[in-house]
Every structure is written in structure tokens, then in C-alpha cells.
Amino acid sequence: MMREHVLGIDHLGLTVSDLEATKAFFVEALGWDVVGGRPEYPSAFISNGSAVLTLWQQKGENQHGFDRHANVGLHHVAFKIPSRESLDVVFAAVKDWPGVQLEFAPEPSGAGPKIHFMIREPGGNRIEFAYDPR
């Protein structure tokens, strides 16, 4: 079986409309660390110790907003949260962050028991934060 040869996601690369704003969101609001980057192609590599994101500055004049219904590719990225209390702490930290657009506040996902909320980070990507007690 081929499945045992691919272990999981090594990192996730996101193109962002405002690299500095997105980097500040992850570092200052969520406490992630900058672990690298490439100045020749403006980027920042960030990590929370278990996940790594590579943030790439969008280039060119074609800077249309993300449309999850019309674009092939990323629909959203979802981060696992360890408890309901932590979900509320994260929500409080990000809901009013400059440039963040709140899509919906913590609510059950379908019939539950998962609780989640969704935002757009300052660089335009859609992010879900989810706690699942199962």
C-alpha cells in the first residue's frame, strides 16, 4: 500500500496579499515563531512547534480577493485546538485583530460535537479554528 510512504503535511504554503500583516497576525496574535524566509522572493516561514506555514507575498497587478467557490486550490486551512477553553482564548485574541474579517463566531460544526469558528487573516486566507472533543 502506498499510504505508508506519505506521512503527512511537511508544511503548507500560503500566498498572501500583505506579508507583514499576515506574519504579524501569526507571530503577535497567535504566538508563532519566525523560523526562516527568503528575502529575494518575499516570504516568511513560521511555526508553532508542530505546524509550519510558508507565507509568500503575492506579486503582480492581479491581486483579486480569494473566492473559495471560484478558485481552484485552498478553500481554507483548519487548525486543531486542544480544548473549548483554548478555542475561546484564540477567538478573543483574533476576532478584533487589525485586518481580520470574522466569518462566524464559535458554533457547532454541523450537529457537533465539534465547535469551530472561521476568519480571514489580514493577507486574505480563510482560516478555521476547531475543537473536537471526540
Which residue did the predictor score with more confidence, 5 or 42?
A: 42
* Domain span holding position 40: 3-59+75-131
Whether 101 shows a pLDDT value over 70: the answer reads yes
Residue that is written with C-alpha cell 508563532 in the block: 32
65 in any annotated domain: no
Instruction: Please tell me the distance from the alpha carbon of residue 82 to that of residue 66, in angstroms, as a whole number.
Output: 29
Confidence of residue 67 (pLDDT cuts 50, 70, 90): low
The pTM of the whole model exceeds 0.95: no
67 in any annotated domain: no
The total domain count for the chain is 1
Strands (E), 33-114: 33-36, 43-47, 52-57, 77-80, 101-108
Residue 100's closest CA among 67, 84, 123, 133? 123
Instruction: Please tell me the distance from the alpha carbon of residue 47 to that of residue 51, in angstroms, as a whole number.
Output: 6
Q: Which H or E element spans position 96?
A: none
70 in any annotated domain: no
Residue 118's closest CA among 134, 131, 130, 133? 130
